Structure 1
């Protein structure tokens, strides 16, 4: 199996593990500081894949550009009050969420 196939399989695995979920169900992750907000211009699957391969340079760039960040208290409260659903994927120890 070549490297391209391995990348495709890894990305597909992340894609299959991504789902829509009520924000209320993710409160424990928020409380533990492991819920990461992914800005909507970014592809959630791509971000999760980069986390999964530990691409620190790319993650640092997104952090610096404020395209990803820990879910803020304000976001969490707004989503809870609105009974929002978010797209989510787990990349241990993080859970990445996108509205």
Structure 2
């Protein structure tokens, strides 16, 4: 079932956040990385809706993974900010896509 209201709510709650603010979530093991090929809000909605078939497919494809030490090192070294949204107990993050100039 497609819940447009849920997607609007999640989109409104999505924001940019610096790595130091995410470290405690990483330490708790609840930081989930959403690959750049996915829409962060759609991924959050599918998780919130418990759409196991789609989420499992993303996990198998490596498009949704639990943040690991390599992620943490990269984010720390690059001092980047990430897009984030909470779908309790998870915090989903996605690296910002570079702007394309045409």
- TM-score by structure 1 length? 0.91
Runs of 4+ in 1 over 3 A off after TM superposition: none
C-alpha distance in 1, partners of 2:31/2:4?
A: 26
C-alpha distance in 2, partners of 1:89/1:10?
A: 13
> How many residue pairs align between the two structures?
95
C-alpha distance in 2, partners of 1:20/1:42?
A: 17
C-alpha distance in 2, partners of 1:89/1:61?
A: 21
Deviation by residue 1:41-82 (Cα, 9 ceiling, x = unmatched): 100000000011111111100000000100110111110122
Tell me, yes or no, if structure 1 residue 84 matches structure 2 residue 73: no
Structure 1 residue 24: deviation in Å?
1.1
RMSD: 1.2
C-alpha distance in 1, partners of 2:92/2:9?
A: 15
Tell me, yes or no, if structure 1 residue 28 matches structure 2 residue 28: no
Structure 1: tracts of 5 or more residues without a match:
none
Structure 1 residue 83: deviation in Å?
1.2
SS in structure 2 of the partner of residue 21 of structure 1: strand
Q: Of 65, 72, 75, which aligns to 2:68? A: 72
Tell me, yes or no, if structure 1 residue 50 matches structure 2 residue 46: yes
Q: Of 31, 39, 42, which aligns to 2:35? A: 39
C-alpha distance in 1, partners of 2:80/2:33?
A: 14
